[in-house]
Structure 1
Amino acid sequence: MLPEPHRLRRHSDFSVTVRRGRRMGRRDLVVHAFDRGQVEALVVSGSGPRFGLIVSKAVGPAVIRHRVARRLRHICADLVGQVSPDTDVVIRALPGAASATSAELARQLRAGLTKMNLVVPVSEEP
């Protein structure tokens, strides 16, 4: 479960992240990231990155959307300690996310964040 301080809740936070942040598209996800530290008015008390999810009806019926959201929240909880603390991240699930495995979603999210230099890549063990 993603702890409360690491969740994006307000519509304005989602809007700022999507409109003013950087975007990286993947096969089943679009990752939007915004550095709160660059804008003084948006500095939020508390430490750590904040994550938000957008899972539309295009992904599938409610059961599938909730399954995708649960998987993404779990992945985000694992990334909390590896993402820059002043970062807001919004993950938009695309229709392919419904059939993707959790490992594929995690790999795509990590790849998007790594490409934006927001997370340190995990070294693969032989």
Structure 2
Amino acid sequence: MLPEPHRLHHSADFQRVMRRGRRMGRQDLVVHAFARDDAGSETSPGRSRFGLIVSKAVGPAVTRHRVARRLRHICAELLSDVPDTSDVVIRALPGAARLSSRDMHRQVRSGLKKLGYVEAAKDERA
């Protein structure tokens, strides 16, 4: 599970990542990333933080919660790979409900790699 200090909670943090960060669309997810050191932010220095957006378009509550749990697990695995001064928001698109965990992980990692937040050498985990 994703530790509490590594979660985005405030809407202002989500807005900063969504508006000022960079994004990379994948087939069933959109990955937004923002380097806090660029903004001189004093919030949670030295910790990468993740936020999730899983709207009603993804499906009913049970489906949305399943997608969110799987994404939190993936984010926890990526903590050591993402730079410590990064904020990442992952927005699930309706197709995310049909993804296997492996494909979801692949899309998240691919988006982060394209944005330059994950090294290519670590990309080939199975």
TM-score by shorter chain over 0.5: yes
TM-score (norm 2): 0.94
- The letter of the residue matching 1:101 is S
Hey, which of these two has a bigger chunk of helix by percent? 2
Give the Cα separation in 1 of the matches to 2:123 and 2:22: 25
Identity %, equivalent residues: 61
The Cα shift of 1:123 comes to: 5.6
Structure 1's consecutive aligned runs of 4 or more residues displaced over 4 angstroms after TM superposition are none
Residue by residue over 1:81-122, the C-alpha shift from the partner in whole angstroms, topping out at 9 and shown as x without a partner, is: 000110000000000000001100100000000011101132
Aligned alpha-carbon RMSD (Å): 1.2
Give ranges in structure 2 of 5+ residues lacking alignment: none
Give the Cα separation in 2 of the matches to 1:96 and 1:21: 24
Give ranges in structure 1 of 5+ residues lacking alignment: none
CA distance 1:10–1:62, shift in 2 (3 Å): same
Report SS of the residue matched to 1:47.
coil
The Cα shift of 1:44 comes to: 1.8
Give the Cα separation in 1 of the matches to 2:123 and 2:75: 19
Identify the residue that residue 8 of structure 1 maps to in structure 2. Answer: 8
TM-score (norm 1): 0.94
